[in-house]
């Protein structure tokens, strides 16, 4: 069976129920956290022109976006990050009369392996 043009991203992943040998074409399966298992254990799947950001999949992958991105909760809703999380790219301490009053952070999402 060919599944084409569906949105299985994030909470909609519960609707993704592939059968052995299916072709998944032009679908969005992007997930919040890196290496989220998607369709594992189903044999013979083919993903073609899909968004597989943060997905771990089995089978044949043809021309899909397979990036793993660790997103920062200080930049996006739905993620839990401390102010000094791993996504900090630079910080600046602000002091008055030698007393630290604030620290400004810059953040960026990270592409991970």
Partner 1 sequence: MAIIANYYVDPVTGLDTNDGLSTSAPFATFQKGADVATAGQIVACKTSGGASDEQPSLTIDLDTNTGTSTDGFIQFIGVNSSWDYDGTRYILDGSLVANLLTFSSKTRLAFVAIEFNNATGNPLAGTGGDNTYFINCAFRNNGSTVSFSPCGTAYVVMCGSFGNDGDGFSMPYSAGHILLSVAGYNTGDGIELTSNSSYLNSAISCLSFNNGGEGIDSRYGENVIYQCTSNDNGASGINVDDYCCVFGNRTTNNARYGIETKLNATYGFIGFNYINGNTLGAIGAAQAEKILDNFGLDSNIYSGVDGYNAPNTPDYDFNLTADATMRDIAITLPS
Q: How far is the CB of 44 from partner 1 (least distance, A)?
A: 20
Among 1, 2, 7, 20, binds partner 1 (CB under 8 A): 7
Among 24, 53, 57, 72, binds partner 1 (CB under 8 A): 53
Contact status: 72 vs partner 1 (CB under 8 A): no
* Stretch of 10-18, 34-42, 86-94, 97-105 lying at the interface with partner 1 (CB under 8 A): 10-18
Cα 71 to Cα 59, 60, 87, 97, 106: the distances in Å are: 26, 26, 8, 36, 13
Contact status: 70 vs partner 1 (CB under 8 A): no
Contact status: 12 vs partner 1 (CB under 8 A): yes
Q: Which of 49, 109, 110, 27 is nearest to 38 (CA)?
A: 27
């Amino acid at each position: 069976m060919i599944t084409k043009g569906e949105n299985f991203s994030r909470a909609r992943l519960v609707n993704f129920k592939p059968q052995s040998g299916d072709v998944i074409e032009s679908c969005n399966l992007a997930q919040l956290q890196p290496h989220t298992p998607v369709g594992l254990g189903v044999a013979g799947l083919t993903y073609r022109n899909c968004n597989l950001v943060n997905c771990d999949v089995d089978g044949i992958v043809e021309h899909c976006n397979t990036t793993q991105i660790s997103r920062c909760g200080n930049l996006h809703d739905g993620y839990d990050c401390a102010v000094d999380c791993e996504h900090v790219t630079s910080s600046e301490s602000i002091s008055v009369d030698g007393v630290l009053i604030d620290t400004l952070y810059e953040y960026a999402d990270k592409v991970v392996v």
